[in-house]
Amino acid sequence: MDDQIYSDPLSSLPAQNKPSGLGLAALIAGIVAVLVVCLTVGLSFASTSMAPRTAETVTSIVGLTAICSLGLGLIGMGLGIAGVLQKAQSKMFAIIGLVLSAVAFLVMCGIMGLGVWALGALGG
């Protein structure tokens, strides 16, 4: 019998990088930011057909959700950048979270800019 030591044939393959915790946090923040942007847009359209007293309350909620989506977008972008810069970690979640957060942030900035432009154009 041979006294050779047999090694695992899979040991020569490169080890998979573990997913980054910062990347996962960026992904979650990006998804939540996109959902909050969708909620903001939906509430703003719904408030146009409500009674004036109810519309005032909904308008306040729309403002709060807009600010929350901007904050979540910034947090998600920061976490995504930190996740991308980590060494020996998988960067997939970080990149997806960074992109989602940036899209949510830019869309909300565009919506707010459109609102400011419309108020100026209407003389409000």
Average pLDDT over residues 47-71: 86
| CA-based nearest residue to 29, from 88, 112, 89, 93 | 93
- Please state the domain count of the chain: 1
DSSP secondary structure letters along 33-84: HHHHHHHHHHHHHHGGGS-HHHHHHHHHHHHHHHHHHHHHHHHHHHHHHHHH
H/E stretch holding 109? helix 92-121
pLDDT at residue 6 is higher than 90: no
The pLDDT tens digits of the residues spanning 110-120 come to 999 998 888 88
Task: Give domain status of residue 79, yes or no.
Answer: yes
15 phi, psi to nearest 5 deg: -70, 145
How many residues are listed for the chain in this entry?
A: 124
Mean pLDDT over each residue of the chain, to the nearest integer: 87
Task: Give domain status of residue 4, yes or no.
Answer: no
Task: Give domain status of residue 8, yes or no.
Answer: no
Q: Report the DSSP beta bridge partners of residue 90.
A: 19
User: Taking the model in full, what pTM does it have?
Assistant: 0.80
The confidence score (pLDDT) of residue 124 equals 59
Average pLDDT over residues 63-81: 95
Task: Give domain status of residue 44, yes or no.
Answer: yes
How far are the Cα atoms of 6, 16, 46, 74 from residue 23, in angstroms, in the given order? 38, 16, 34, 14
H/E stretch holding 121? helix 92-121
The confidence score (pLDDT) of residue 37 equals 96
What 3-state class would DSSP assign to 90? strand
Which range marks the domain in which residue 88 is found?
19-121
Task: Give domain status of residue 5, yes or no.
Answer: no
Average pLDDT over residues 30-48: 92
Average pLDDT over residues 11-22: 70
